[in-house]
Structure 1
Amino acid sequence: MIAEFKEFPKEVARAAGVPGMEFHSQEFMPFKSRKEKFEELKKELEDENNCMIGLQGLGGTGKSTMAIEVGKQVEKSKLFDKVIFTNVSTPMDEKRIQDDIAKKLELQLEEEMPMSPAQQIWTRIAHVGKVLIILDDVWEELDLKNMGIQPGFHIKGYCCVLLTTRSMTICNKMGCQKTIQLDVLPMDDALKLFLSHTIASGNDCPSDLKKLAQDIVNECGGLPIVIVAVAKALKSPSLQQWKAALIALKNPMPSRHGIVDEDKRKIYNSLRLSYDHLKGEEAKILFLLCSIFPKAYEIPLELLSRIAIGLGLFKEEDPYYVARSHANDIENALINSSLLLKTGEVYVRMHDVIRDMALEKIDNEKIQVIMDSKTKLKEM
């Protein structure tokens, strides 16, 4: 049985991001294949004939990271007077998106005003100048006007929308003048990324380890989010450990649904390896708990600590401040393993590719994330 949370209170999480692109800390990969796409995207943003631009690719290819990086650069260079980043995800919550955009415009939406929230947002945008709005993780066609977004020229400037999505159909439906496709990493870049997280100098990697690394990377499907998670699980360049990891990566993916897609098998096995390398059951339990939060929710670290302590993940005789310290250590371990992504100073979120793996694991292994009478998590 899987515990289901049908609705979370609004205070569980906040709208993605905070004012100013500099607060987004995701690391952009300076590889040739990514640089070329990045420069292409930046060039399209510089062209004022483009007011709707799409960045399309598989989940985990680094679309959000690239969008954040380009947002930082055009904000810093003053190409745009204001850059706003907000996560859309699914199911789409129009009010949350409006509140997030309004917050970053330093606008207090007034329900009692003659103007609707969308009109209030657009009035503010129209007086800012050149504005770039990045809509991240779009899964369905959006009515931008209902949100207060009207791409194109206005009285005092210009509004451009950059959306990231897995679907080319969404780009077409949304009327993107330009769509840039982000593919999985080619082997050379994928190998460099893996070695950069496992060996101080990838060029000095022994030939036997490098061959193993190539095989491991091949099992990661070329997805940066997966490669980094696996690399951080195998930080120690041990021939024996890497051989064992490769065997684990090639093992059949457990599934209740029979035959599975080969790409899905690779992704699941790769992330399962990262999960298995977490130290301590407490870290694994907290990781699985994070997956139960709705997609794209940013989870307050304070709330995560309280959940861990409240569910009795630590010794009952531990004083609160000791248990709190243990919770912080586990949270940092999950962040350092790239299984959780830090957003700002006090929030984390789970990439939807990783979340899917965690939910699959809960489903496959019948992990029941509830409390029994002794306030302990249990498996069934």
Structure 2
Amino acid sequence: MGNCFSIQLSCDSVIGRCWDCAAGQAMYICQLEDNFQALEDAREKLKALKSDVERVIRDAGPQMKMLEQVRDWLSKVQTTLNEVDRLIGDGPQEIEKLCLGGCCSKNCYSSYMFGKRVAKKKKVVIALTNKGNDIKGVVSAEPLYIKRLEDDLKSLQTEREELVGLKLDVMHRVREEEGLQKKPLQQVQVWLSMVEASIVDADALLRDGPEEIKKLKSNGCSNSDFGEKVAKRLENVVEQKRKGDFKDVAARDLVESVLERPTEPTVGLGTMLDKVWSCLMQEQVGILGLYGMGGVGKTTLLTKINNRFLNIPNDFDFVVWVVVSKDLRLVKVQEEIGRRIGISIREWKSKSIDDRATEIFKTLRKKKFVLLLDDVWDRVSLRTAGVPLPTKQNGSKIVLTTRSEVVCSQMDTHRRIKVEPLAWEKAWKLFKEKVGEETLSMDPIIPDLAKDVARECGGLPLALITIGRAMACNKTPEEWRWALNDLRRSTSDLRGLTDEVFPLLKYSYDKLPNNRVRSCFLYCALFPEDFRIFKNDLIDYWICEEFWDDEENEDVARDRGYHIIGTLVYACLLEEEEGNYVKMHDVLRDMALWIACKRERSKHNFLVRSGAQLTEAPKVGNWEGATRISLMENSIQNLLEVPTCPELLTLFLCRNPHLHQITSNFFQFMDALTVLDLSNSSVKELPPGISKLASLAYLNLSRTCIQQLPVDMKMLRKLKYLNLEHNDFLDMIPRQVISNLAALQVLRMVNCSFFYEATEGNILSDSDTLVAELQCLKHLNELSIAIKSASALQSYVSTHGLLSCTQALSLECFSCSKSFDFSWIANMKLLETLHISVIKHLEEMNIDCNWRLVRERFCGSLREVSVEYCPRLKNLSCR
């Protein structure tokens, strides 16, 4: 055939080969989706297995190192997972090319190649998974930490030697500084102490190290914590080397961070101390004020705080104690601070306050300090003194003690805590300790008497301690009874009170702004122990006594009274109760009487027997020279002697329920009497001589048995205050008595005259005349009145001046039309109480005005409205 050749194939063979090729490609395409899903599942299993193997290695920690096969497997797994991730990333795009139920493709070649790669990679993943399951539990043959332990011990030896050298260098520097009269810094001392301990620990580890390694190499057993201890000690030694690079190792002066202050065991301060400490340690509290009356334990509490810094670990560089005292001198404060923080005071003599402040500030701004200011009476300018203000950033603290809450405010305290007297149980415990069990057990009666004496101290620690010590030698009931009676007198001479307690408390009195406020404070001592004094009553007394300018109008004068009460409360000389009342602590009251009756007798000269359970008045000889006398709250029955009191200004005879008789010329020699209070007594008539009290400005006859006012009362031209309320038996007030009291500012007449006589010239039976006389009082600014006729009411409501000053109004016992218009109530801006009773025929009450506006602008003070015995009343409407 020449160059020709022939290939002979059977038809079946050709067809078979073509089919095998086509079928193989089709298989990769048709199984692509299944293989792809299987690959994803296999990948997740392989990843989980890889994590398990790595966890086993990680848990083995320094004790194991990986076998080569494990390392190789992990490497292959990571490579394979990266390739699988790329395939899976391309998967969605390739699967979208499939059609005809996944058995064909829009690009057969591309789908074939991708399916083939997926299938092969799936096999690789499965193979790696199977192998990984085999080696999962395999671990290294040699513990890694043997080698690491050997390295750490060598490093520890080197670092230990370097630390010892550094320690010797620091100690040498310290000795040099001490030769210059300097003291090692606290941080240096702590560092040296910690280094010494660290070297001891390191030596022990270095000594035991070879034996531990020998155990590991022989049987693989050792103290499991040993390697960790070596590693931690090595780290600690390196850190101590770093911290030992001190710039300064000693301070110029020998300054201790805290100086312990002497103190005695205390009773009852533990809870308060914990409260103060907890507050002080709060991050947001930088300046803390402790205030309270003298002798209550503020300085003792501050001393406990100072000493607590010695016993509790803290990071304060300085705790500085400064006694400020009432004669504040900034130079003295600066010297105390400078001395405590190591500044040479001798070099300060020629420096100004500003220069000293600069030095203090330069030192303290780099430090975390506590400044304890004791006995602060006025604002201390911290900026002028050079003291940085505490902040959250610097963490410093300032604590001050004062008797005035105002000072706390002036010092910008973040928190203020009032230090209260001790509760009875703790007060009694303290008193018992000072008296002693031996004295208390001398007689069965003494303990009960001792409790009464202790109660007279009112929980004041200073008084409890002082009187307890004074009574420790009194071993008979008679001595204790005498002491108790003496304490209950206004001018007690009990040892310890007049020479220790009262002089200390008097500082608060002396520090009051002026003599006017001091007089107001002493005035409160006229009331009995624990008496709740109504603020308005107190201010009425003061206004009538003309404690301040008489030219002020009523509102200004009353506001000034409230201001003075606030001043006394903030100075902890009065205690506020329920908003409208104040009370004076028993010991402060005794101190006030000591001042008024003894210390400053020539200026004040009080005679006070209030609440003393008297049945007879003191002898008139004791009244001579007195300026203020209080016999209130006793059981005195009569006043038959005539005292000579030309300087007497105030006379309290109130709350003597059995007092029924006062001799006719009792007031004959009281020309200066300004305040007379007979309320809550059984006096039936006023002596004729009362009309000669030309200076009388205050007269309180409420809740008495007075039956009529004498005509001569109209001669009291200076009377400003007259109270006739709740006088059930008053049946006669003659005409022109009220109208002639031209200076009258306060008149109270509600609930009086239930049994009045309807006689001519009696304004109690003639409301029209009463209203007419009230209209003559041009200075009236406070009125309480009962109106008993429709015509009188009409006259009353047409007088704007009367409406605007009425505080209490009672409409009672008269007839009117069925419908009654109350719109005039809109003008009663001071009205507090409205009482309507026994109004015949009244069926409807109308208030035809903007009631909301009335309530907001005029009736803001209205507290009580009562309507009774008006049987026909059907409607009360406001339009």
Give the TM bin, normalised by the shorter chain: 0.5 to 0.7
With 146-155 and 83-92 compared, the bigger mean Cα shift is at 146-155
The partner residue of 1:70 within 283, 289, 305 is: 305
Report the alpha carbon displacement of residue 186 of structure 1 after superposing the two structures with TM.
1.4
Deviation by residue 1:129-155 (Cα, 9 ceiling, x = unmatched): 321111111112221111111222498
The partner residue of 1:225 within 456, 462, 483 is: 462
Q: 5+ unaligned residues in a row in structure 2: which ranges?
A: 1-254, 508-587, 604-879
Question: Is 1:103 equivalent to 2:324 in the alignment?
Answer: no
Q: Which residue is 2:546 aligned to?
A: none
With 193-202 and 99-108 compared, the bigger mean Cα shift is at 193-202
With 131-140 and 20-29 compared, the bigger mean Cα shift is at 20-29
Alignment of 1:155-166 (within 5 A): 157-166=394-403
Structure 1 residue identity aligned to 2:298? K
With 180-189 and 62-71 compared, the bigger mean Cα shift is at 180-189
Q: Which residue is 1:81 aligned to?
A: 317
Q: Which residue is 2:385 aligned to?
A: 147
Report the alpha carbon displacement of residue 122 of structure 1 after superposing the two structures with TM.
1.6
Question: Is 1:174 equivalent to 2:395 in the alignment?
Answer: no
With 234-243 and 146-155 compared, the bigger mean Cα shift is at 146-155
Structure 1 residue identity aligned to 2:432? L
1:115, 1:239 → 2: CA distance?
Answer: 63
Tell me, yes or no, if the aligned pair for 1:19 and 1:103 is still in contact at 8 Å. no
Question: Is 1:209 equivalent to 2:430 in the alignment?
Answer: no
| Higher RCO by CA contacts (8 Å cutoff, separation 6 or greater) | 1
The partner residue of 1:42 within 277, 287, 293 is: 277
Structure 1 residue identity aligned to 2:494? L
Q: Which residue is 1:27 aligned to?
A: 264
Q: Which residue is 1:124 aligned to?
A: 363
Report the alpha carbon displacement of residue 191 of structure 1 after superposing the two structures with TM.
1.0
Is the alpha carbon distance of 1:100 and 1:180 closer, same or farther for their aligned partners in structure 2, counting shifts above 3 Å?
same
**Matched residue of 1:274: which SS?**
coil
Deviation by residue 1:70-94 (Cα, 9 ceiling, x = unmatched): 1110233242332111111212111
Structure 2 residue identity aligned to 1:94? L
Structure 2 residue identity aligned to 1:132? V
Tell me, yes or no, if the aligned pair for 2:292 and 2:403 is still in contact at 8 Å. yes
Is the alpha carbon distance of 1:81 and 1:161 closer, same or farther for their aligned partners in structure 2, counting shifts above 3 Å?
same
1:164, 1:276 → 2: CA distance?
Answer: 23
The partner residue of 1:234 within 471, 482, 494 is: 471
1:168, 1:205 → 2: CA distance?
Answer: 44
Q: 5+ unaligned residues in a row in structure 1: which ranges?
A: 1-17, 254-268, 278-283, 296-352, 367-380
Tell me, yes or no, if the aligned pair for 1:133 and 1:160 is still in contact at 8 Å. yes
Report the alpha carbon displacement of residue 106 of structure 1 after superposing the two structures with TM.
2.0
Higher Cα Rg, which structure: 2
Report the alpha carbon displacement of residue 205 of structure 1 after superposing the two structures with TM.
8.5
2:321, 2:353 → 1: CA distance?
Answer: 27
Report the alpha carbon displacement of residue 172 of structure 1 after superposing the two structures with TM.
2.0
Q: TM-score if structure 2 supplies the norm length?
A: 0.27
Report the alpha carbon displacement of residue 19 of structure 1 after superposing the two structures with TM.
7.2
The partner residue of 1:245 within 458, 462, 483 is: 483
1:121, 1:94 → 2: CA distance?
Answer: 13
2:410, 2:353 → 1: CA distance?
Answer: 31
Alignment of 1:127-138 (within 5 A): 127=366, 129-138=367-376
1:191, 1:114 → 2: CA distance?
Answer: 48
Is the alpha carbon distance of 1:92 and 1:113 closer, same or farther for their aligned partners in structure 2, counting shifts above 3 Å?
closer
**Matched residue of 2:288: which SS?**
strand
Is the alpha carbon distance of 1:218 and 1:163 closer, same or farther for their aligned partners in structure 2, counting shifts above 3 Å?
same
Question: Is 1:198 equivalent to 2:419 in the alignment?
Answer: no
2:258, 2:320 → 1: CA distance?
Answer: 8
Tell me, yes or no, if the aligned pair for 1:19 and 1:84 is still in contact at 8 Å. no
Q: CA RMSD in A?
A: 3.6
How many residue pairs get aligned? The number is: 258
Tell me, yes or no, if the aligned pair for 2:260 and 2:306 is still in contact at 8 Å. no
Structure 2 residue identity aligned to 1:86? V
Structure 2 residue identity aligned to 1:172? S
Deviation by residue 1:159-200 (Cα, 9 ceiling, x = unmatched): 210011111222122221111111011111111111101123
1:139, 1:276 → 2: CA distance?
Answer: 23
Structure 2 residue identity aligned to 1:126? R
Deviation by residue 1:29-54 (Cα, 9 ceiling, x = unmatched): 242xx222110111122223211001
**Matched residue of 2:412: which SS?**
coil
**Matched residue of 2:320: which SS?**
strand
**Matched residue of 2:273: which SS?**
helix
Deviation by residue 1:100-125 (Cα, 9 ceiling, x = unmatched): 11111121253459971111112112
**Matched residue of 1:116: which SS?**
helix
Tell me, yes or no, if the aligned pair for 1:193 and 1:227 is still in contact at 8 Å. yes
Tell me, yes or no, if the aligned pair for 2:371 and 2:397 is still in contact at 8 Å. yes
Report the alpha carbon displacement of residue 211 of structure 1 after superposing the two structures with TM.
1.6
Tell me, yes or no, if the aligned pair for 1:152 and 1:159 is still in contact at 8 Å. yes
Is the alpha carbon distance of 1:204 and 1:245 closer, same or farther for their aligned partners in structure 2, counting shifts above 3 Å?
closer
Is the alpha carbon distance of 1:93 and 1:119 closer, same or farther for their aligned partners in structure 2, counting shifts above 3 Å?
same
Structure 1 residue identity aligned to 2:495? S
1:199, 1:224 → 2: CA distance?
Answer: 16
1:22, 1:105 → 2: CA distance?
Answer: 12
Structure 2 residue identity aligned to 1:179? R
Deviation by residue 1:10-44 (Cα, 9 ceiling, x = unmatched): xxxxxxxx97765522325242xx22211011112
**Matched residue of 2:484: which SS?**
helix
2:408, 2:351 → 1: CA distance?
Answer: 35
Tell me, yes or no, if the aligned pair for 2:263 and 2:300 is still in contact at 8 Å. yes
Is the alpha carbon distance of 1:39 and 1:114 closer, same or farther for their aligned partners in structure 2, counting shifts above 3 Å?
closer
Is the alpha carbon distance of 1:235 and 1:122 closer, same or farther for their aligned partners in structure 2, counting shifts above 3 Å?
same
Tell me, yes or no, if the aligned pair for 2:297 and 2:461 is still in contact at 8 Å. yes
Structure 1 residue identity aligned to 2:364? I
Is the alpha carbon distance of 1:51 and 1:203 closer, same or farther for their aligned partners in structure 2, counting shifts above 3 Å?
farther
2:320, 2:351 → 1: CA distance?
Answer: 25
Tell me, yes or no, if the aligned pair for 1:171 and 1:179 is still in contact at 8 Å. yes
Tell me, yes or no, if the aligned pair for 2:286 and 2:397 is still in contact at 8 Å. yes
Structure 2 residue identity aligned to 1:181? K
Tell me, yes or no, if the aligned pair for 1:52 and 1:160 is still in contact at 8 Å. yes
Tell me, yes or no, if the aligned pair for 2:284 and 2:392 is still in contact at 8 Å. no
Q: Which residue is 2:522 aligned to?
A: none
Is the alpha carbon distance of 1:115 and 1:186 closer, same or farther for their aligned partners in structure 2, counting shifts above 3 Å?
closer
Tell me, yes or no, if the aligned pair for 2:353 and 2:385 is still in contact at 8 Å. no
Tell me, yes or no, if the aligned pair for 2:287 and 2:397 is still in contact at 8 Å. yes
Structure 1 residue identity aligned to 2:365? A
**Matched residue of 1:24: which SS?**
coil
**Matched residue of 1:55: which SS?**
strand
1:75, 1:126 → 2: CA distance?
Answer: 22
Deviation by residue 1:310-342 (Cα, 9 ceiling, x = unmatched): xxxxxxxxxxxxxxxxxxxxxxxxxxxxxxxxx
Structure 1 residue identity aligned to 2:286? C
